[in-house]
Structure formats: C-alpha cells, structure tokens
Chains A and B, each alone.
Chain A
C-alpha cells in the first residue's frame, strides 16, 4: 500500500533535482513541488521567461558548469516527474502536504517525502536595517542574477560568509560601484582559518580571487567591523560603522547588502514531526538526519541547506544520497559503490565546511550591541528592549514564551527574519547558551495563505 503513492520532493534546487533524478533512474515517478516558477533553487535560479539573454557564464560565473548540469538534469527527466512549479507547501499534516497553487489549496498525501527546502540569509538587526535600500546579500544577488538589477548605484557589503565577497565581486563585475566590504570577522581569524580551507583549494582560490579582484579595483575591505546604523529618512544614504579599533566611521552609499551566513528553512520538517537538535556550527536548531538524510520520522528524508548549511555541491550529493536511502528503505536495489562514494564526498565537504565556518564566524557580540530601541521583528515592529524585558523580568525563559508575550516572530514571516536575534537576545539576557532557549514551533501556514483559498479547495483525485 505504501508504495502506491509517488515519492514527493519539496524544492527544485540542487538537492531536490538530484534526488528526483535518482528516483527516476530507479523507475519511480516523483512529484516535485517548488515555489519558484523555474527549477534551479536560489543558487542556480534561472531568469524568468521573457527575453533574458545573458549566458550562464555571466549569471553563475565559476559555477556556470554546475548550474547548467543541474538545469539539464531536471530537463532530462521533465517528462518522468510530476513537476509543480509556483506551488507553495503551506502545511504538513498526517501524511499529507497542503499545496497552494493558483489560489487553490489541495492536499497531497505521501508515504515518502524528501524535504529540500533550502535556506535564506541569516541576519541580525542594526538601526536602519528596515530602510529601503537595505537588502540581504542573497536578495542582492537575486536582483542581479534574476532581474539584471543592482540594489543601488553605490553599494556597501556588510556581514560575513562566502556570499559577502562573492556578491561584492559580482556587483563590481556588473559595473556597480562597491562602497566597501565590511566584514565582521577580524583579519587574524580569517588568516588562521585559511589553513583548514586548503582541504578545498578550488574554493579557497575563488575566495582569494574575489578579494584580490576587489582590492585591485580599489574597493576598501575592512575586517572586524560592527555596524552602528544605516542612515536615511525615506531610503538609506550611508552606513555608519565601527572599525576594528573601535573608531566610528561613515561611508556614503545608497544601498547596503548584508547577511551573516545562511539559515535553514526548517518549518516543514517541524510540521512533519521531525526531531530537532541544536547544531553548534550553524548555531541553530536543525532537524536530525543520519548520514544518508533520514530524519527521525520514517519516510521523511532531508537534503541540502534546509537541514543544515553545507552549500550547493553538498546539496547535490545529499539529494542523491537521500533518494538512495529512500530506495533502500523501499527495498529496492541500490548501488553500494555509489553510496560509498557519496558518503565519502559528503564527509570531505563537511570537513571543509567546518573550516569555512571558522573563517566566517558568527559575530556573537553583535547582539549585545543592539540598542533597546532597535526594531528586531520587521513584521510586527518589536524592539530588542521588549524581548530583553520579558527575559530579565523572568516572564520568558524560552522562545515561544517570548513570542507569546512580545509578538516577536508572530507576523507574516513567522520568525524567519527575527528568530536568530530573539534567540541571541534571550540567551544572553538569561546567561544561557543559544541552545538554552529552545526554538520557535512551526505553525501552519508556513507562509501567508490567502483567505480566498478556503473557498478554492481542490479535492484529491
């Protein structure tokens, strides 16, 4: 009975596509559900239909070959999967997903599910971060890649992580003035971590090239930076920052692109009932998965950045590995050599990721510097002071309580943009580690659901 239902894959990025490819090769016909209009995920996002002409080398740079291979892999199996683009999965309940497409809701029952839900930028707030002109690093890259637009004429790049230098480089290449790269990591930390990154010389070389290119074009690169504020009334016109020596400085710009690494999209895993654990490297609660991608719930598999940040290359491997795990669990034959190879490569990437997170550490002191009147929850307009107050007065010792009492995380984004901040503020006010304050429980709908969908229900065939 359980094999009667087709396997379901959520997400058509590198993990989802490689999972689908493997299932198709085994003779199954998976359903691939994706919110985007075209496959590729965020990293290999394809431009929209309608006259976009840049070649993949222009869009994806060094990764053009990989992007193209992933795109082609999906194209090759297109007629052997049930592909549902522009479809939001808004809930997971009792062995079925709830899908929203074209305004109508429909339940999709599953016996076997691969969640490849991806990630978005992790952010912490600073005064002025809600001003027009302040975007995430990932968002700034989307504007360029997907729309041929820069987020400003003179852009400041702020934060940490591989995206910081990559996106600054891409902007510079596109002819945009880069006002500076403001890296929160001290120079010495990065230099020390470089040794570990030699595990992947290609990636290290690319990173060094970005930095070299930026320097060669006169882009100032500052290490050990903390933001003071974004200035501007109706839109941002300057970044005020503190340099490594504590000196306050001001850089005129009309846009700020910022991010502090990535944050997994875990809501569906939570609604599916997966057990979570605190991950020190990602400084986040993540659904547990074994080396093959099995979650704690039989029949539910996890792959890619949605269950721990490990990058696009790992996502491709993990997607295929999760599909192989599913096939094994379905009692189908799998090629042991391939499993072994994938496991080996995933292990090597995992080791490299550890050096990478050492090179771009999360700025743990940032949260202490957030003034009480700084807005932390963009949706509901909640301040840092409100969260600290419920912690200090003993009213909230964990995330969901803080949410109930302050509304932080209650708005449209369901805590995606503020929960990292709330966790930092709460744990520091309470003197615990970031793992000591729990995590926000996911609630359906995981993204806003039109009320009109209530009258637009499709029955399952």
Chain B
C-alpha cells in the first residue's frame, strides 16, 4: 500500500538548507514534506568544520550571509538549542605583507556589508592573541563570526520544522521525481508518493540528480574536506582561525578539543568518503606549525564528508530555468554551513512571495557553459 502525501512544498534533502527552508515555510503556514535519504543533517551539513564565518566570502554571497547571520543570532529561539554556537570572532591570519595587503583590500571591498572587519597587526596583534606567537604578522578579525557544532545545528533545523508540523521522512530516498501538470510527483520506492506545488532541491552533493531530471545538468563535483580533532587541551584559543591563502584552519571548542581542517579525503563510493593518510599527516604538521600548543597533543579522530563543488565555487541558488515551482540550492563548495539558514529563508520567501530582495543572479543554475 503506497502512502500518498499532498502538500504545498516538497523538499529533497534534510541538510541545513532544506531543514531551515522547511522551518521557515512552516512558520509561513505552508504544508511541507521533507525527504531525507540518510538522517537529517548527517551529510556535509553535519560533518563540516563548524566555522560560522562571513569573512572571506566573495562579495556576491554577503547579502545571503548577512541574512544568515541574523538567523544564527536567534538560534535558541528558533531551535530550542544554542548548538554550541559562539560568536567568538573569526581571525584570518596574514603570514606575509602581500597577504596582509589582500586582507586590507578585502576589508575595503566589503565596507557597507556590516562585517565590522578589524585589521590588527604588530604589537597589538601579539598582545591580543599571544597564543599565536609570531607565526603571523597580523590578521583580520570579524568579531561577530564564530563557530558551532554542526552535528547538533543541522539536525536541529529539520527537527524544529517537524515540531512545527512539517512531515520529515528520514531514510527515504527519492527514486523518481517529475512534474505532472501543475504538481511535482516524488516517489520513494513503492512506499511513498509525495505530490506538491513546489519543489526544493537541497540535496547537497546529490542535487545534480534532481536538476538533471528537469533538464538542467550541472557540473557538480564531489570533494571531501579533511578534518581532525585532538584530545581536550587547556584553553589557549578563543577565536576561529583561518589563514589568508588557505591551508589549515582551526578552532578550539569550549571543552578543549582543537578541531583543525585542511586537505582532502577520498571517496569510498558515491555516498561515502574517508580521510586520506597523507592529507591527515600534512594537516597535523601544518596545524602543529600554526599552533605550537598542539606539539604534545594527540589526534583522536579524523573525518571527512561528501560536499558538492561548482566550477566557480559559488553555490547554485534560485529558480529553475526550465520548470516553474522548482527551486535549487546546492553546490556550496565547502562553505554552506554559515550561509545555509539564510538560503533556507530565501527559498521560503521565493515560494511564499514569488520573489526575494536577495541578489541571486550570480547563483543562476544556467551560468555554466554546458560541458557536453
């Protein structure tokens, strides 16, 4: 006996984008069915580094990122948990004069977006972050950026949506999706059929399948950011650290563990990935160089995830160009965690009002030249 659900909006993918979209749609009173193949927030949304960071994003992402920023500020009210979210500040380090110059240039370019960036160098830098020693000549601080526990935040959005009445189905892969007249029809095996007026494609690294089903092939590549965490250490770091020019990044959680990231893992298959030995060892070496406090520490766990990357590293966000009622949001290219709830809210706005003040032009799905 196949179960049938009729609703306003069907969402494929229960990560932070799909989960937050479901929450905001329920707040607007629409009926929502969220289908998740795995567990909500168990993929890239739940296993990423946990940086809640606006600093360093390309300018075109900043309006969405700012919108997300205000949602992060309301986390306990929205989710009933702070999910270990702290506005610790995000400090991007400059190891050379040219790196410092590019941080200064970024601050100039982003004036007016409200990031409040502060360039700190020399004596003052060493006074404020003595733990960083002299491994950087200065840095750019975004005081209200921070970090959170992705394992807790991302499932919490879907859970909050469910509490408000969204139908959330986990372990429910979507095998077929099509538009039948005015309705989207989603099939999960023989067990479930969902019919909806609107469809949100928020399936992360697997979103290309839905897009392709509606004639919108996208060059999405799966990559696997490599992460490691140490045993708990006495607190020495209160900001989320990045480095200009990339490489290693790190944050120390209040329990004392140091979470560091850098390099890439490898795919076991289309759904699973593992850290890669050389990447892990390189990450450990680079992290120890940046944070001498790790000299005697041990890594207790490494992990990675499956994340969709686009060629220009900007996400695909906005209406389908082939199918009215379909909206995409995926391909965040390793930087979807902070911006996710802002995108979710924007999707809800697109569905409920038919438009959004957010500039989505840079994120059009048809911006890539077809590869075939």
| A contacts, CB < 8 Å to B | 91, 93-94, 96, 98, 105, 107, 395, 401, 404-405, 410-412, 414, 443-445, 448-455, 457
8 Å CB contact of A451 from B42, B275, B288, B303: B288
Does A445 lie within 8 Å of B39, measured CB to CB?
Answer: no
| With contact pairs A395-B159, A401-B42, A404-B46 given, residues A450 and B285 touching in the complex (Cβ less than 8 Å) | no
Cβ of A395: which chain B residues have Cβ within 8 Å of it? 155, 159
**B282 in the interface, Cβ–Cβ < 8 Å?**
yes
Does A451 lie within 8 Å of B294, measured CB to CB?
Answer: yes
For this complex, 11 residue pairs linking A to B, each with C-beta atoms less than 8 Å apart, are A401-B42, A404-B42, A405-B151, A411-B231, A414-B301, A444-B277, A450-B296, A450-B297, A454-B283, A454-B284, A454-B288
Cβ of B303: which chain A residues have Cβ within 8 Å of it? 443
Cβ of A91: which chain B residues have Cβ within 8 Å of it? 277, 280
8 Å CB contact of B298 from A96, A105, A404, A451: A451
A107 to B281, CA, bound (A): 11
**B299 in the interface, Cβ–Cβ < 8 Å?**
yes
Cβ of B155: which chain A residues have Cβ within 8 Å of it? 395, 404-405
Cβ of B285: which chain A residues have Cβ within 8 Å of it? 454-455
Find the A residue at minimum CB distance from B162: A394
| With contact pairs A404-B42, A452-B296 given, residues A445 and B302 touching in the complex (Cβ less than 8 Å) | yes
Find the A residue at minimum CB distance from B280: A444
CB contacts under 8 Å to A, within B120-166, are 151-152, 155, 159
Does B151 lie within 8 Å of A451, measured CB to CB?
Answer: no
Minimum Cβ distance to chain A for residue B36 (Å): 12
| With contact pairs A401-B39, A451-B230 given, residues A98 and B277 touching in the complex (Cβ less than 8 Å) | yes
Does A410 lie within 8 Å of B274, measured CB to CB?
Answer: no
**B295 in the interface, Cβ–Cβ < 8 Å?**
yes
Does B302 lie within 8 Å of A457, measured CB to CB?
Answer: no
Minimum Cβ distance to chain A for residue B152 (Å): 7
CB contacts under 8 Å to A, within B327-345, are none
Cβ of A404: which chain B residues have Cβ within 8 Å of it? 42, 46, 151, 155
Does B159 lie within 8 Å of A451, measured CB to CB?
Answer: no
| With contact pairs A401-B42, A414-B300 given, residues A451 and B280 touching in the complex (Cβ less than 8 Å) | no
Supplied contacts A412-B298, A454-B286, A455-B285, 10 more A-B pairs, CB within 8 Å: A93-B277, A96-B277, A412-B231, A443-B275, A448-B300, A450-B296, A451-B288, A454-B281, A454-B282, A454-B288
A405 to B158, CA, bound (A): 14
Find the A residue at minimum CB distance from B151: A404
Cβ of A455: which chain B residues have Cβ within 8 Å of it? 284-285, 288-289
8 Å CB contact of A93 from B274, B295, B298: B274
Cβ of A411: which chain B residues have Cβ within 8 Å of it? 231, 300
Cβ of B20: which chain A residues have Cβ within 8 Å of it? none
**B287 in the interface, Cβ–Cβ < 8 Å?**
yes
| With contact pairs A454-B283, A454-B285, A454-B287 given, residues A449 and B277 touching in the complex (Cβ less than 8 Å) | no
Does B298 lie within 8 Å of A449, measured CB to CB?
Answer: yes
Minimum Cβ distance to chain A for residue B115 (Å): 31
Does B42 lie within 8 Å of A449, measured CB to CB?
Answer: no
Find the B residue at minimum CB distance from A398: B39
Cβ of B282: which chain A residues have Cβ within 8 Å of it? 454
Find the A residue at minimum CB distance from B284: A454
**Mask: chain B, 262-292; 1 = CB below 8 Å from A; 0 = not:** 0000100000001111001111111111000
Cβ of B276: which chain A residues have Cβ within 8 Å of it? 93
A411 to B276, CA, bound (A): 21
Minimum Cβ distance to chain A for residue B22 (Å): 16
Find the B residue at minimum CB distance from A450: B298
Does B274 lie within 8 Å of A453, measured CB to CB?
Answer: no
A94 to B278, CA, bound (A): 12
A93 to B275, CA, bound (A): 9
Cβ of A401: which chain B residues have Cβ within 8 Å of it? 39, 42
A454 to B46, CA, bound (A): 26
Cβ of B295: which chain A residues have Cβ within 8 Å of it? 451-452
Find the B residue at minimum CB distance from A457: B281
Cβ of B274: which chain A residues have Cβ within 8 Å of it? 93, 444
Does B281 lie within 8 Å of A445, measured CB to CB?
Answer: no
Minimum Cβ distance to chain A for residue B52 (Å): 18
Does B281 lie within 8 Å of A105, measured CB to CB?
Answer: yes
A105 to B296, CA, bound (A): 16
**Mask: chain B, 27-45; 1 = CB below 8 Å from A; 0 = not:** 0000000000001001000
Cβ of A452: which chain B residues have Cβ within 8 Å of it? 284, 288, 295-296
Does A453 lie within 8 Å of B151, measured CB to CB?
Answer: no
Does B284 lie within 8 Å of A451, measured CB to CB?
Answer: yes
A448 to B159, CA, bound (A): 34
A370 to B174, CA, bound (A): 40
Cβ of B294: which chain A residues have Cβ within 8 Å of it? 451
Cβ of B297: which chain A residues have Cβ within 8 Å of it? 450-451
Minimum Cβ distance to chain B for residue A424 (Å): 21
A94 to B286, CA, bound (A): 24
Among A395, A404, A405, find the residue whose CB has the most chain B CB atoms closer than 10 A: A404
Minimum Cβ distance to chain A for residue B149 (Å): 10
Cβ of B287: which chain A residues have Cβ within 8 Å of it? 451, 454
Does B299 lie within 8 Å of A449, measured CB to CB?
Answer: yes
Cβ of B288: which chain A residues have Cβ within 8 Å of it? 451-452, 454-455
Among A401, A414, A451, find the residue whose CB has the most chain B CB atoms closer than 10 A: A451
A423 to B299, CA, bound (A): 25
Cβ of B152: which chain A residues have Cβ within 8 Å of it? 405
The 9 A-B residue pairs with the shortest CB-CB distance, nearest first, are A454-B284, A454-B285, A448-B298, A404-B151, A455-B285, A451-B294, A454-B281, A449-B299, A451-B284
Does A444 lie within 8 Å of B275, measured CB to CB?
Answer: yes
Find the B residue at minimum CB distance from A393: B159
Minimum Cβ distance to chain A for residue B163 (Å): 11
A411 to B232, CA, bound (A): 9
Cβ of A449: which chain B residues have Cβ within 8 Å of it? 284, 298-299
Among A410, A411, A454, find the residue whose CB has the most chain B CB atoms closer than 10 A: A454
A96 to B276, CA, bound (A): 12
Cβ of A448: which chain B residues have Cβ within 8 Å of it? 231, 298-300
A410 to B255, CA, bound (A): 13
**Mask: chain B, 307-327; 1 = CB below 8 Å from A; 0 = not:** 000000000000000000000
**Mask: chain B, 76-92; 1 = CB below 8 Å from A; 0 = not:** 00000000000000000
Cβ of A412: which chain B residues have Cβ within 8 Å of it? 231, 298, 300
Minimum Cβ distance to chain A for residue B23 (Å): 16
Find the A residue at minimum CB distance from B39: A401
A451 to B152, CA, bound (A): 27
Find the A residue at minimum CB distance from B304: A443
A404 to B301, CA, bound (A): 13
Cβ of A93: which chain B residues have Cβ within 8 Å of it? 274, 276-277
Does A443 lie within 8 Å of B302, measured CB to CB?
Answer: yes
A395 to B152, CA, bound (A): 11
Cβ of B151: which chain A residues have Cβ within 8 Å of it? 404-405
A94 to B274, CA, bound (A): 11
Minimum Cβ distance to chain A for residue B29 (Å): 24
Cβ of B283: which chain A residues have Cβ within 8 Å of it? 454
A445 to B286, CA, bound (A): 18
Minimum Cβ distance to chain A for residue B208 (Å): 26
Find the B residue at minimum CB distance from A454: B284
Minimum Cβ distance to chain A for residue B268 (Å): 8
Find the B residue at minimum CB distance from A96: B277
